[in-house]
Amino acid sequence: MPRYKLIIEYDGTPYAGWQHQAKHRSVQQAIEEAIAAFSGETLRIRAAGRTDAGVHASHQVVDLDLTRDWKTDTVRDAINAYLKPEPITILSAEKVAPEFSARMDAVKRHYRYRILNRRPQPALERHRVWHIVWPLDAQTMHEEAQSLLGKHDFTTFRAAECQASGPLRTLDRLDVIRMGEEIHIYASARSFLHHQVRSITGSLMMAGSGRWAKGELRAALDAKDRSRCGPMAPAAGLSLIGVDYPEK
């Protein structure tokens, strides 16, 4: 039974997140239905990351097993043919070792958060950015962000409903870059807590707007208290943009 690795991009706006749900349509459900339509097989696909409702991906990774040994181009194109009504695209398909796990073998995940920092509201990108009208100092945000790098107890930036076994995580990258009217926040780690990136983004906004003084972001981290977190940034601005695996 061959195992396939798929690279997927999707607009998360119309979905209740990645994971299959009983009452709401998910990205996983849409892809599984397309696989069943072309292959006749009902199965569960396994993803590198379970994105929340409204969160997008330009590089989600999944693995799946099919009974028939299909050509990789056929797998990609056939799934895409049945996905045409959905804002989901299979970018590539490849055969991998039977023991490959999109989730367990991942060594780093990369996210980007986009803030549109201007007065006029967005028309074309309104489901892909957080629109903030007041001025933000991206350099201050970046400098404050560096205090969160490394291994810490991220309880302050962890959702109350997070199912992770503990709050310790190692944040490898947290860069804030202004690109014209947009501010991009890049976060990389082996794994993230539920709502961690969005919680950090909202707190960085507080630092960039001057509502938080220098050092207040680190103080919030050290407090290990969810009530010290800034406002959680909306899902629309967040995208999973990459997943790293060990070199073969």
d(CA 88, CA 68): 24
Q: Which tens digit of pLDDT belongs to each residue from 198-225?
A: 999 999 999 999 999 999 999 999 999 9
Residue 237 CB coordination number (10 Å): 28
Q: Which of 73, 96, 119 is the last residue of a domain?
A: 96
Please report, for the domain that includes residue 224, its CATH number.
Answer: 3.30.70.660
Helices (H), the chain: 27-39, 72-83, 138-145, 196-208, 216-223
| Res 97 pLDDT > 80 | yes
Q: What is the pLDDT of residue 203?
A: 98
| Res 12 pLDDT > 90 | yes
Mean pLDDT value of segment 59-74: 98
| Res 63 pLDDT > 70 | yes
Known catalytic residues?
52
Number of domains the chain contains? 2
Q: Which of 48, 75, 96 is the last residue of a domain?
A: 96
Q: What is the pLDDT of residue 206?
A: 98
Return the structure tokens found at 98.
């039977």
Share of the chain above pLDDT 90, in %: 96
Mean pLDDT value of segment 102-109: 98
d(CA 180, CA 194): 30
Judge whether 35 lies within some domain: yes
* Proportion of the chain in helix, strand, coil states, percent, rounded to 5: 25, 30, 45
Q: What is the pLDDT of residue 22?
A: 85
Share of the chain above pLDDT 70, in %: 100
pTM of the model: 0.96
Is 199 found in the same domain as 230? yes
Judge whether 101 lies within some domain: no
Helix (H, G, I), strand (E, B) or coil at 93: strand
